[in-house]
Amino acid sequence: MKLFNFSRPALCALTFGAAALVMTSTAFAHAHMVSSEPAANAEVAAPTEVTIHFTEPLEPAFSRIELSDASGKPAAPAAAEVDKTDAKMLHLALPQLTAGRYGVHWTAVATDGHRTQGDFAFIVK
C-alpha cells in the first residue's frame, strides 16, 4: 500500500529542497567575523585592545585572539575574553605597542560547537 503518490520529478525536487534547507541551516550556525577594531589593514595610533564582532554567540573556553609582531613573535600575553554583555564580541587587551605591523589570528567557536578562524593585520603609527 502506498501512502504517498509522488511523481519522480516531484520526489527529486522535494529531496533537493530538503537537502538545501539542511545545508542552509548548518551554514548559519558558524560564527563569522562581522568587523574589528582596529579594522583590517588600518593604520592607527597604538590601540589598547583588539575587538572582533561575530555573527553568532561564542563559546568562551575555545574562542581566542592571538597577536604577533612583524617578526611573528607573540605580542600580547593576555588571553582574549568574550564580552560579558554581548557574547558575539571577543576582546584582547594589549600591552603598549610600538610602531609597526601586527598580525591578528582569531579562532571563534560558536556555542553550538562550530569553529571558524581567520587572520588580518593592522599597522601602528
Model pTM?
Answer: 0.78
Q: Are 36 and 50 in contact (CB under 8 A)?
A: yes
Q: In the chain, what are the domains? A: 33-124 (2.60.40.1220)
Q: Which helix (H) or strand (E) holds 108?
A: strand 100-109
Place of cell 581567520: 118
Q: Which residue has the higher pLDDT, 106 or 25?
A: 106
Q: What type of residue sits at position 23?
A: M
In this predicted model, what pLDDT tens digit does every residue of 51-79 receive, in sequence order?
A: 999 999 999 999 999 999 999 999 999 99
Query: In the predicted model, is pLDDT for residue 87 greater than 70?
Result: yes
Whole-number average pLDDT of the chain: 87
Alpha-carbon distance of 123 to 45, in angstroms, equals 8
- Residue 40 CB neighbour total at 10 angstroms: 13
The partner residues of 115 in beta bridges, in order of sequence, read 109
pLDDT score for 23: 47
- Mean pLDDT value of segment 15-43: 74
Q: Pick the more confident residue, 27 or 7.
A: 7
Beta carbons within 10 angstroms of residue 121's beta carbon: 15
pLDDT at 26: 44
pLDDT for position 28: 54
Please identify which residue in the block is written with the cell numbers 607573540: 74
- What pLDDT score was predicted for residue 2? 54
Coil/strand/helix, residue 81: strand
Q: Check if the beta carbon of residue 125 is closer than 8 Å to that of residue 99.
A: yes
Q: What pLDDT score was predicted for residue 123?
A: 98
pLDDT of the residue at 116: 98
